[in-house]
Amino acid sequence: MLFRVTFPLAAAHFVNQAARTVMAIVGPVLAVELGLSAVELGTLAACMFAAYAVTQLPLGIALDAFGARRVQAVLMTLAALGFAVFALSPGFAGLALGRVLLGVGVSAGLMAVLKGNADWFERRRVPQVIGISTAIAAVGSAVTTVPVEALLPALGWRGVFWVLCGLTIAVALWIFLSVPEKPRAPGTAPTFGGYVASSARILASPTFWCFGPAVATISTFNFAYLGLWAGPWLRDVAGMDGAARAFVLFLYTLAMIAGSMLTGAIATRAERAGLPAVLVPIAALAGVVAVQVGLIAQPRQYTVVLVLFLALAILSSAGSVGYVVVNQMFPADLTGRVSTATNTVALGLAFAVQTAVGWILDLWPRTASGGWDPDGYSWAMAMTAALQAVAALVMATAARRRRRA
C-alpha cells in the first residue's frame, strides 16, 4: 500500500508544502516588482491560509464520506487552476484570487494523507507511515528554495508557477489512477446529518480543545515564517544575500524531512514501550520555544543562524505526529473530521500570525535597502514564542490529567 496509497497522497502533500513555502523565495521579488508593503505581502501570503482554513470542516466531512482518492484528485485539479491564475495575474487582486484558489486546492494535503493511511494501515504503523509521508512532502518545501532561486532569473516568478501548475496536474492524475477506494460494510454509510452531528460533537469535546489547538501551534512557525517571513528575516536580520537565504531554507527543509521520519519513529517506539505518544509533540513544542528565544537575540553569525534554523526544523516537524495523537483519541471513523478540525485551528493561526507579523514590522520605518527593522522581527517572534509556550503548558497539563484518569 505504500506505492498505491502513501506515495501518491504524499505527492499531493508535496504540492501543498511547495505552495506554502514558495512565497518565502518569490515574496521579496514580488514586493519589489509590485511595490507591496509588508502588510500587503503578508495578506497575499495569508490569503491561501484563510481559504485553506475555511475549507477544513466541510473537507473533513467530504473525506469521511467520499474517501481520499476522489476528494484529493478534484482538489489537486483546483490547485493547478490556482497556480495558473497566479501566474497570469497582473496585480494584487488577481494574485490574491490565485492564492485563494490554491488554498482550497491544497487544503487536503495532510488531511488526505492522514485519512488514506489510517484507512489502509494498522494503528501502530500509522505514526511511522505518516512520518514517511511528511518527509516526502517536505521535499516540496526543499524544491522551492535553492531550485526556485536558481530558476528565477531564467523563468521569472510567473514561469515558476507554471511549472508548479503542470506538476499538480500530474499528481491529480496519479492519485485518481492509483489510490483504491475503501469499501464500506453494507448499511454503514451515515447520512449527511450524521456527519454534521458528529463534527459538532468533536468541536464540543473538551479533549479536542485541550490537545487540538496546542498541537496546531507546533506548525505555526513553519506556516508563518517558512511560508513567508523566514526569507526576509534572513535578509534583514542575518544579512544574507539571495543565494545564502535559499541555501539555509533548503537545508531547513532537508532537516524537516529527517525530523518527520525521526519524530514518527520515536512516537511509534514510545507506544511500544508503554509511553504516551503525546510526549513527542509536547517536548517538540517546548524545544521550538527555546530556539525562538535564541533567534529573538538577532544572531548574525552564519553558523549560529544555521544551527538554530535546523533545530527549529527538526522540532517543528513533530506537528504531523501531533495530528495522529489527537486523531487516535477519537473513533477511527472520525479521522477525517478530527484532522480537519485541528487543521482549521492551525490555519486560522497561520493567517493571523502571518498578518500580525506584517503589521508589527510596519510599526518601524523601512530600512535604506527596502527591508524591515530587525527589532520588529524580534517582537514578532516573541509573539509566536509566547503563544507556543502557553500551548505547551496546556497540552502537558491535559496529558498528565488524562494519564491519571
Task: Answer whether 223's CB lies under 8 Å from 346's CB.
Answer: yes
Look up residue 2 and give its DSSP letter: I
Local structure of 299: helix, strand or coil: coil
- Which triple of cell numbers denotes residue 179? 489510490
Q: What is the CATH architecture of 2-178+193-404?
A: Up-down Bundle (1.20)
CA 29-104-88 angle, 5° bins: 40
Vertex 160: Cα angle to 159 and 166 (nearest 5): 90
Residues 171/8, Cβ–Cβ less than 8 Å: yes
What is the rounded distance in angstroms from the CA atom of residue 123 to the CA atom of residue 347? Answer: 26
Structure confidence at residue 320 (pLDDT): 80
- Of 243, 242, 233, the C-alpha closest to 295 is 233
What are the CA-CA distances from residue 395 to residues 102, 210, 332 (Å)? 32, 6, 22
User: Structural domain boundaries of the chain?
Assistant: 2-178+193-404
Q: What is the pLDDT of residue 185?
A: 56
The pLDDT value recorded for residue 189 is 55
Q: Residue 385 and residue 382: Cα distance in Å, rounded? A: 5
148, 151, 153, 159 alpha-carbon torsion, rounded to 10°: -90
Reported as type and span, the H/E element at residue 28 is: helix 7-34
Burial of 396 (0-12, 13-18, 19+ CB in 10 A): middle
Is residue 327 classed as helix, strand or coil in its secondary structure? helix
CA 162, CA 159: separation in Å to the nearest integer?
5
So what's the pLDDT on residue 169?
97
Q: How far is CA 187 from CA 60, 183, 184, 192, in A?
A: 21, 12, 8, 14
Residues 6+ apart with CB under 8 A from 82: 19, 98, 99, 100, 101, 102, 103, 104, 105
Instruction: Assess contact for 322 and 391: CB atoms under 8 A.
Output: no
Cell of 328: 487516535
Quick one: pLDDT at residue 351? 76
Burial 109-118, CB ≥16 within 10 A → b, else e: bbbbbbbbbb
Amino acid making up residue 182: K
Closest CA to 330 of 65, 102, 123: 123
What are the 10-residue block averages of pLDDT along the chain, 405 residues in total? 81 89 81 79 79 81 83 95 93 90 90 81 73 80 82 89 95 92 61 73 89 86 74 91 85 85 84 86 93 94 94 88 87 80 81 85 87 92 93 92 81
Cα-trace Rg, the chain: 20
